[in-house]
């Protein structure tokens, strides 16, 4: 019963109940219109978020008629392999520890606009981690930022949308609260090198925290790249998928990023 309620909640939030019901009545599968690749962590303290995200992704894929392939490392990524996919989702997977061939293929995919990209949370963990050096191309892609600190014991925060006309914000209020988030801070704001779409009001943190950076973007896109792309910082807790605004944002971002320019 709990699982059924969760599915119904998602369908209602996405505003797709009539379409879903019609598809169910037809009683036969619909051929996928395109394919999406999801690179997701398979361990660590973000695993609960990734697993919940997969549940929602599968439902969104069924509703929008696309296919998803999930991978948990970059071993299989090559230029030829990425030709299969219209969208690459980096689901809480960091920008380090990638195989050299995967790095080259991904850079080519984004620079040449071979598909769209959607990154969440851990995708901005830029720095020297696990004995790896920073990825220069990805550093520039994310606006020249380096991870500095985070709120390890979490805080709620109010997100302010700056570009309300952007399609990923369709159906969302101008401000909304995100609960139980880590709120990374960086050595500087990426503003000026990327197009900031939303920020978090650090004065709204509850409980109050000292980890602040002033101008604090949390959703942005890099228009210098040919690929449609958007980074969404929020993505730690699986509880996000019971938040109507977050689910809308998640769905809208996929739909937008999967479209060609």
pLDDT at 115: 97
Max Cα–Cα distance, the chain, nearest Å? 55
For residue 194, give the DSSP letter: B
pLDDT at 46: 76
Crossing angle for the helix pair 47-64 and 2-14, to the nearest 10 degrees: 60
Task: Find, among 139, 51, 57, 42, the residue nearest to 93 by Cα.
Answer: 42
Considering only the top CATH level, what class is 2-25+34-127+135-257? alpha beta
pLDDT at 133: 93
Q: Is the pTM of this model over 0.85?
A: yes
Judge whether 74 and 105 are in contact, CB under 8 Å.
no
Judge whether 189 and 144 are in contact, CB under 8 Å.
no
pLDDT at 9: 54
pLDDT at 18: 45
Angle at 88 between CA 159 and CA 129, to 5 degrees: 70
pLDDT at 29: 67
pLDDT at 19: 46
pLDDT at 20: 47
Angle at 60 between CA 228 and CA 219, to 5 degrees: 40
Q: What does the domain layout of the chain look like in residue ranges?
A: 2-25+34-127+135-257
pLDDT at 11: 53
Angle at 127 between CA 126 and CA 132, to 5 degrees: 115
Task: Find, among 143, 155, 45, the residue nearest to 95 by Cα.
Answer: 143
pLDDT less than 70: residues of the chain: 1-29, 44, 260-261
Task: Find, among 56, 95, 102, the residue nearest to 76 by Cα.
Answer: 102
Judge whether 92 and 40 are in contact, CB under 8 Å.
yes
């Amino acid at each position: 019963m709990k699982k059924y309620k969760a599915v119904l909640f998602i369908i209602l939030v996405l505003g797709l109940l009539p379409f879903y019901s019609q598809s169910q009545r037809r009683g036969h599968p619909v051929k996928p219109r395109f394919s999406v690749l999801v690179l997701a962590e398979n361990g660590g303290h973000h695993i609960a978020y990734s697993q919940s995200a997969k549940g929602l992704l599968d439902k969104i894929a069924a509703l929008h008629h696309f296919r998803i392939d999930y991978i948990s490392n970059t071993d299989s990524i090559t230029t030829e392999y990425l030709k299969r996919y219209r969208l690459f989702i980096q689901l809480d997977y960091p920008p380090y520890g990638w195989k050299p061939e995967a790095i080259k293929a991904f850079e080519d995919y984004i620079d040449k606009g071979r598909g769209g990209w959607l990154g969440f949370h851990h995708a901005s963990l830029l720095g020297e981690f696990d004995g790896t050096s920073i990825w220069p191309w990805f550093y520039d892609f994310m606006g020249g930022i380096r991870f500095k600190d985070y709120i390890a014991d979490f805080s709620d925060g109010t997100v302010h949308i700056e570009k309300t006309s952007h399609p990923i914000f369709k159906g969302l209020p101008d401000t909304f609260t995100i609960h139980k988030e880590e709120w990374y801070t960086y050595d500087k704001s990426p503003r000026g090198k990327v197009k900031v779409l939303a920020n978090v009001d650090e004065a709204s943190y509850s409980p109050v925290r000292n980890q602040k950076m002033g101008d604090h973007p949390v959703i942005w896109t890099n228009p210098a790249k040919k690929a449609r792309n958007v980074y969404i910082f929020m993505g730690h807790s699986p509880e996000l998928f019971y938040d109507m605004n977050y689910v809308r944002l998640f769905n809208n971002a996929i739909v937008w990023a999967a479209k060609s320019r």
